[in-house]
Structure 1
Amino acid sequence: MTYQNPFPYSDDNKRYHTWNYYLKHRFHSKVFKVALNANFSCPNRDGTCGVGGCSFCGALGSGEYAGNIHDDLAIQFTKGQEMMLKKWPNGKSIAYFQAYSNTYAPCDVLKATFDPFAARKDICAISIATRADCLDEEKITYLQSLTKEKEIWIELGLQSIHDSTAKRINRGHTYQQFLDAIALLKDTDLKICVHLINSLPNESEKMMLETASAVGLLPIHAVKIHMLHIMENTKLAEEYLTSPFPVLTREEYVDIVIKQLERIPAHIVIQRLTGDGVKEALITPDWTLKKVVVLNEIDKEMKRRNTWQGKLLKK
């Protein structure tokens, strides 16, 4: 049986609002991120709200693909940009501050970090990964000022709306603190992307769908959905190797992601539906290494079910 794609935000038969679609229509070009490590820390590591970080997070603060911390940021960016331009010679660049919590510092440090990139002509946007408890009115006012020069994305790690899960993974902040940050951001020109992780310990399918539904109701612009990676040298790896807990199979993950997409409004951009785990350090699940296969399975199954992002929402 053949179905015509009913999803409006698509040029390529995708049934969800892809990041590529957004970037193409926003900047009229191929756009790529250059991942950077600005040597920030995290309040969940230095004792401010916890120690050891989130149990799934490694020593590089989820910045395994960011630049070399020993290089100046400008050098990191140049190296990363040159590598990406070999693949997309006419592409435009986003400076992506990926590792750790990139607003966890006084405003003068933030200005010294971000101002040079806001002034660059070879950058079309800046993306800043951080936590809800690393934002306040002063920092948001400063970040808002940068929107006069560039499109600014704030990527907020949430992972789950369930405080029981947050406690289980040593997240260090509550869902209400996340909502408080959203309230501060919602009336600005800053773009908000929320990170979610599927298959966190003790989370049921119902809980994962509740997270997607709740986040879809917020005044945000994008979502990233990842499968849980259990990586070497993390607290979660210690727990898993001592007492293994179930993780989703590829088929289960595809099924849950599709159900989550059905609960997320069509206008919200889906920046990612699968994440990167360094092969040499990944304990499980190894099926995540085949990203293209995972994405293709999601596409095929959405077509088979004749479903699309936002299908279950009332018009």
Structure 2
Amino acid sequence: MENKRPYNEFSDFLRNCFPCKVQKISINAGFTCPNRDGSKGWGGCTYCNNQTFSPEYCHTEKTVTEQLEEGVHFFSRKYPEMKYLAYFQAYTNTYDSIDALKKKYEEALAFPGVVGLIVGTRPDCMPDELLDYFAMLSKRTFVMIEYGVESTKEETLLRINRGHSYRESEEAICRTAACGIFTGAHLILGLPGESREDILEHARRISSLPLTTLKLHQLQLIRNTRMAKEYAENPSDFHLYTVDEYIDLAIDFVERLNPAFIVERFVSQSPKELLIAPDWGLKNYEFTAKVNKRFMERNTWQGKLYE
């Protein structure tokens, strides 16, 4: 294999896009989701507690500018020359009026040192007018739209109360990529009711889409979620992977993945006080080191079994 790395890393992708070191700064811009406010449902996704991915500086009572100030202050101490991507992360960051959305994005782009946007959203929340705006914006700055797909199985999406179909994911990803915008997707491996074969089928199905990046992470059971209650009542519905099991599953997945995709991450790390299981006791960089070691042991790489 010519590539020295067993999979395409996000850090290499950023190095190809920027002549300097770049860091994402998470922003909670105070949005909600259509499956929370009654538009499509109530209660949100059964696994979701947004505290799990909001850094300390990332609170809704703070403006976009205030959150960026605190994020830059945190990172610039170590890397004074660093530039930043404003990452609209919490909930559905395209779910508001077009004018209100543009105001928040432009506020972020006006902040010194911010060189682009990453916007996390749902595939059913990308109206044509907003997509046209992002297409225009991408001609002058870095723009990536990241869609929460979570599963390619319609039954699973229904079970976890996503409120959208996989077909809608396919359509949104294709529309976005057709506009020349970097397009990402997010999948959760190990959702209830999904077998190993189902999970590997996700790799085959998602590989046919025009994605730039893919984020994977293990199912985590989080306190104060509907899924935590389901687990307490019916633990046999869930397979909680050990760290070694999950590493092999993730590598099996990546072997079947489109070799052009960037694999942005394999795991997510929830705050210990919110996590019920699985608690592997590993930092993300420690997990990644284990993954890389296992790739070498198996003498395999991204796309080895891609069809």
Fold match, TM over 0.5? Answer: yes
Aligned length: 304
Partners of 1:255 and 1:269 in 2: CA distance:
19
Q: How does 1:150-189 map to 2 (within 5 A)?
A: 150-189=141-180
Partners of 1:288 and 1:221 in 2: CA distance:
30
Contact 2:85 2:116 in 1 (8 A): yes
Give the match's secondary structure for 1:87: coil
Aligned to 1:103: 94
Out of 228, 243, 248, the position equivalent to 1:237 is 228
Out of 39, 48, 58, the position equivalent to 1:57 is 48
Q: Deviations over 1:83-114 (max 9, x none)?
A: 01123332221100010000011211111111
The one-letter code sitting in structure 2 at the alignment partner of 1:179 is: E
Which stretch has the larger CA shift, 210-219 or 285-294? Answer: 285-294
Cα offset, 1:68, TM superposition? 1.8
Partners of 2:165 and 2:300 in 1: CA distance:
33
Query: Equivalent pairs: percent with the same residue?
Result: 36
The one-letter code sitting in structure 1 at the alignment partner of 2:268 is: G
Give the match's secondary structure for 1:287: coil
Contact 1:191 1:220 in 2 (8 A): yes
Partners of 1:114 and 1:195 in 2: CA distance:
21
Provide the TM-score with structure 1 as the length reference: 0.92
Aligned to 1:16: 7
Partners of 2:249 and 2:23 in 1: CA distance:
28
Cα offset, 1:121, TM superposition? 4.9
The one-letter code sitting in structure 2 at the alignment partner of 1:307 is: T
Out of 302, 306, 309, the position equivalent to 2:299 is 306
Unaligned runs of 5+ in 2: none
Q: Is the alpha carbon distance of 1:67 and 1:277 closer, same or farther for their aligned partners in structure 2, counting shifts above 3 Å?
A: same
Partners of 2:2 and 2:281 in 1: CA distance:
26
The one-letter code sitting in structure 2 at the alignment partner of 1:162 is: K
Matched, 1:73 2:64: yes
Partners of 1:270 and 1:40 in 2: CA distance:
27
Provide the TM-score with structure 2 as the length reference: 0.94
Partners of 1:59 and 1:268 in 2: CA distance:
27
Cα offset, 1:7, TM superposition? 4.9
Q: Deviations over 1:180-213 (max 9, x none)?
A: 2123212112111100101100111111111112
Partners of 2:132 and 2:152 in 1: CA distance:
26
RMSD value over aligned CA atoms? 1.6
Give the match's secondary structure for 2:178: coil
Aligned to 2:271: 278
Unaligned runs of 5+ in 1: 1-5
Cα offset, 1:117, TM superposition? 2.5
Cα offset, 1:312, TM superposition? 1.4
The one-letter code sitting in structure 1 at the alignment partner of 2:54 is: E
Q: Is the alpha carbon distance of 1:288 and 1:20 closer, same or farther for their aligned partners in structure 2, counting shifts above 3 Å?
A: farther
The one-letter code sitting in structure 1 at the alignment partner of 2:63 is: D
Aligned to 1:3: none
Contact 1:136 1:181 in 2 (8 A): no
